[in-house]
Amino acid sequence: MINYSISDLETITGIKAHTLRVWEKRYGVIEPKRTPSNIRYYNEADMKKLLDIVLLYNNGFKISQIASLTSSEIEEELKKLGKVDENIELRQDCITASVMEFNEEKFKTLFENYERKNGLIATMTEYILPFLDNSSLLYMSGTFNLAHENFITQIVKRKLIAGIEDLEANCCNSKGKVLIFLPSGEYQELYLAYMEYICRYYKFNTVNLGLNLGFEELECVSQQIEPDLILTMIHTEFKAMSTQNYFEKLNSIFPGSKILATGCQVKGNSDFDPEQFKVIGPVKGLNEFFEKPIGVAV
């Protein structure tokens, strides 16, 4: 059982601690427990209840109105919000509430509502990827763990794969061929799927080789295809060689290909040859890069 402090509630919900205390005293929406040494804390049930309250509050309900509702009435109001696109937004508090409960229906409703209005790329770059990038605060509070991250990953990955399949193959070969993979020790399958979707969306032909690929496999691939671009991501620090040495080796395997790199380990690195390498910041920056009329002459 995870316990939370008032500062944890503030971090996760976005509601100031002072406001939360007012809600407690004036409206009794949540009630803190106390340790034997009289330290206030909140349990998981309190957190889930508060996230639902904040979702209603952020969608125009007054706190006095919410306080008068029973738990079943709150749930009904949340369902109504989910059915009306104009009244629901895919904010961090909304995502957090659905993930905390492992509520796939609620998460998919939020995701699909925003996607219908703004498209899959905007949904990913404006909400899903930033949420995952900023989840370290939730990890630190003990609220968020690998199970929650995997829960999001599996749902969103299915959305991306469906989006990739919807892009007709004959529309994806006019700008060149992109080889997509993650190096040895990298397992971010959601990001891999997003990279392929972006390339296909901007009408590049893609060859997706998946996760955890070493030089031996890449050398075999190089004997069969000559990609125009190579797109990869490095989040984890290499132990056997530097990041720069890794890309020099990759360049020797595919000497005629331009290398696009993203991830924590390449962000801000200025040591790469700009004629051969293009360093992209966060993964969400791929959209800004590919939407330019670059062809393969990057």
213-243 tens-digit pLDDT: 999 999 999 999 999 999 999 888 877 788 8
- pLDDT of res. 230: 95
* Cα 194 to Cα 120, 150, 159, 292, distances in angstroms: 10, 15, 10, 18
Q: Scanning the structure block, which residue is given the tokens 């997509």? A: 180
The neighbour count for residue 103, using CB atoms within 10 Å, is 16
- pLDDT of res. 129: 87
In the chain, the domains with their CATH numbers are: 6-163 (no CATH), 169-290 (3.40.50.280)
- pLDDT of res. 252: 94
Token pair recorded at residue 36 = 């034997």
Residues of the chain predicted below pLDDT 70: 1-2, 81-93, 136-138, 140-141, 168-174, 267-275, 281-282, 292-298
Q: Which one, of 5, 258, 242, 12, lies nearest residue 144 by Cα? A: 12
In DSSP terms, which residues pair with 41 in a beta bridge?
33
1-41 tens-digit pLDDT: 567 888 878 877 778 999 999 999 999 998 889 888 988 88
Cα torsion 280, 283, 285, 287 to 10°: value is 120
Contact in structure between 262 and 242 (CB atoms under 8 Å)? no
Token pair recorded at residue 20 = 């939360």
- pLDDT of res. 2: 67
- pLDDT of res. 87: 41
Amino acid at residue number 156: V
Using a cut of 0.85, tell me whether the model's pTM lies above it: no
- pLDDT of res. 285: 75
- pLDDT of res. 298: 43
